[in-house]
A = this chain, B = another copy of it.
Amino acid sequence: MATIGDVARVAGVSRSTASYALSGKRAITPAVRAKVEEAVRELGYTPNAGARALATSQTRVLGLLARFLEDEFAPAMLQYILGVTDEARRLGYDTLLVSEEDGVRALQRLANSRMVDGFVLLNVAERDDRLGVLREARQPGVLVGLPERTSGVDVFDLDFVATGRLMVDRMHELGHHELILVSQPEHVVERGGAYVWRLANAARERAAQLGIGLHTYFGSSSQPSIGQDLNGFLDAHPTATGLLLNNEAAAAALPSVLAARGLRIPEDISVIGRYSDDFARTFSLPFSSIDSAADELGRAAVQQLVARIEGRIAAGAPNIVHLISPEIHERGSTAAPREILDQSG
């Protein structure tokens, strides 16, 4: 493989001149630059990444730390990952994907060995044990997921508090008085998936303000148990007219559960979900839903990270916490409850 020394020899200049001609960091006579570029083309020269990293202390690689929790819906993670890798590539970076269970060790390994210029952490827990290491690392880090303490890192997440409120508000506007909220399994919460109770608490609070009855439940993360769960919830609250879903498996299972019970949407029951649009598309879920915005979050996180890496953000600039506002993607699964329709009709 050609080195910059080969390029220099072929172009008839010194190594340093070749380097400057390619980097443009010093003025080079056009004729010389042309000779160097010609030599590069002739030899098929590409800089050796290791050598460059050693000399510049920059690898142009980002570390992406995914965390796969059992009982969580894994495919959803792919959207975040692709958002990150695509945006990173667009900005000239490659992505090292780490799925190691021991995220702390992985983080230390990558940080100390200087393999990456920065970190993206996915699926961040309320008290994520990776954060301590990340704050001490010399490389900047961004999180996708909101932890308890956000100092020293930039954070991107869906605004789950606003999401909980929005779900209840929308149902309230339509005239519903009794709702059921199905969250992720309790395990997910215990292991730090704070977004689950953040949404649930906000929904509960808003429901209380509005005088709405809200029954909150954890649901399983896979069939067939989630189907049984759903039937149980519906049996327990026959007068509930609205269903809020913060659980992908529940969303996937609901159509057949409703069909089996002979319930139509939105005539008999209104539904609002929270999952990725991509998920909705693949399974053609007929529910109005709030997009998890995985792709958008991944991209925004990378942009911020790269800006920090490249020093485009003042060293002392405060860290940001960017929460994306939820929007309901309308698919016609909400309507006024039957009792209202009956009165008005």
Interface positions of A (Cβ within 8 A of B):
1, 44, 46-54, 59, 61, 64, 68, 73-75, 77-78, 81-82, 85-86, 89, 94-100, 108-110, 112-115, 138, 222-224, 227, 249, 252, 255-256, 259, 278, 281-284
Q: Which of B50, B61, B85 contacts A99 (CB 8 A)?
A: B85
User: Do A50 and B46 have beta carbons less than 8 Å apart?
Assistant: no
User: Do A114 and B49 have beta carbons less than 8 Å apart?
Assistant: yes
Assuming the contacts A51-B50, A78-B74, A115-B49, asked whether A94 and B85 have C-beta atoms less than 8 A apart, the reply is no
When chains A and B are docked, how far (Å) is the Cα of A86 from the Cα of B102?
A: 12
Q: How far does the Cβ of A83 sit from chain B's closest Cβ, in whole Å?
A: 10
Which 5 pairs of residues, A with B, have the shortest CB-CB distance? A223-B284, A50-B53, A46-B112, A75-B75, A97-B97
- Not counting A44-B112, A222-B283, A224-B284, a sample of 13 additional A-B residue pairs whose C-beta atoms are within 8 angstroms of each other reads A47-B113, A50-B115, A51-B54, A68-B82, A74-B78, A74-B282, A75-B75, A75-B282, A85-B99, A89-B100, A96-B96, A223-B282, A256-B259
User: Do B95 and A96 have beta carbons less than 8 Å apart?
Assistant: yes
When chains A and B are docked, how far (Å) is the Cα of A227 from the Cα of B1?
A: 54
User: Do B222 and A114 have beta carbons less than 8 Å apart?
Assistant: no
User: Do A284 and B222 have beta carbons less than 8 Å apart?
Assistant: yes
CB neighbours of A47 from chain B (8 A): 113
Residue of chain B at shortest CB distance from A284: B223
CB neighbours of A52 from chain B (8 A): 50
When chains A and B are docked, how far (Å) is the Cα of A282 from the Cα of B74?
A: 9
Assuming the contacts A75-B78, A78-B74, asked whether A54 and B61 have C-beta atoms less than 8 A apart, the reply is no
User: Do B283 and A64 have beta carbons less than 8 Å apart?
Assistant: no
CB neighbours of A74 from chain B (8 A): 75, 78, 278, 282
Q: How far does the Cβ of A17 sit from chain B's closest Cβ, in whole Å?
A: 22
Q: How far does the Cβ of A277 sit from chain B's closest Cβ, in whole Å?
A: 12
